[in-house]
Amino acid sequence: MKNYKLIIQYDGTRYRGWQRQKNTTNTIQEKFEVVLQKMCSMPVEIFASGRTDAGVHAAKQIANFICNTKYSCGEIKEYLNHYLPQDILVLSVEEVHKRFHSRLNAVSKTYAYTIATEKPNVFNRKYVFGAEKKPDIHKMRKAAEKLIGKHDFIGFSSVSKTKKSTERTIYSITITELENLLTIQINGSGFLYNMVRILCGTLLEIGTGERTEECIDTVFNEKNRASAGVTLPACGLKLIDVFYESIGHTEDINM
């Protein structure tokens, strides 16, 4: 049995997210597993660095699966791209150490949320969120500093209660503006359910003056979802990179 690492890309618009579900076959994991089963003539489970929610995109998602196949890495890539739908693309396939696990070994992930501050261009309308008011980027950047570090982010999530830890670490938040597109890029150890979309909704509302940056302290202190901003729509969110232990970057975890 060999362990294969995949770098994949998908347009999440028409899917119910990454993770296989009982009540629908329309998930990205399921699309992969159907093709892998065909290729390997046996059921194959594929793991991703993390589940992306319904409608969320990935410019670079990392996945792995273990199987026995006669195909080379290049042939696996070709096979998958031939049978997968057009909005899912395998960028690379390589054999990695048996102990590599795309989720368990991930050290940090970067998500980008893109907001159009004018009506979005028709060609990227499915990948951005159109804001009604132009926010003040300086206010957003100042507020973002309060989010850096290790915190209990439960108030910035759609998790109601859980026995698992809801502490996460945010390593960096970069807010950039290019023409009419504002991008919030967040790198962190991991993210709770809806956390990136709520953090971005909170920063946006701080930028437009609907909230003050003090609300961030309130959410941390009171762990109260109601004090945070809206959950922005899934369409503007994209997983853009995943980093792994040892030397850090995904390129360095090979055998």
The correct pick among 59, 107, 137, 159 for binding its own copies (CB under 8 A) is: 59
- Binders in 80-99 for its own copies, by CB under 8 A: 81, 86-89
User: Which 20-39 residues touch its own copies, going by CB under 8 A?
Assistant: none
First to last CA, the chain: 15
Of 172, 199, 154, the residue nearest 109 (C-alpha): 172
**Position 129 contacts its own copies (CB under 8 A):** no
Interface with its own copies includes 14 (CB under 8 A)? no
Q: Are 112 and 240 in contact (CB under 8 A)?
A: yes
Nearer to its own copies, 124 or 254 (CB): 124
Is residue 57 at the binding interface for its own copies, with CB under 8 A as the rule? yes
| DSSP code per residue over 23-64 | TBS-SHHHHHHHHHHHHHTS---EEESSPPPTT-EEEEEEEE
Site string for its own copies, 194-233 (x = CB under 8 A): ----------------------------------------
Binding residues among 109-128 for its own copies as defined by CB under 8 A: 119, 121-125, 127
Establish whether 53 is a catalytic residue.
yes
Dihedral pair phi/psi, residue 38, rounded to 5°: -60, -45
Q: Where are the alpha helices (DSSP H) in the chain?
A: 28-40, 73-83, 137-145, 195-207, 214-222
Instruction: Enumerate binding residues for its own copies (CB under 8 A).
Output: 9-11, 57, 59, 81, 86-89, 119, 121-125, 127
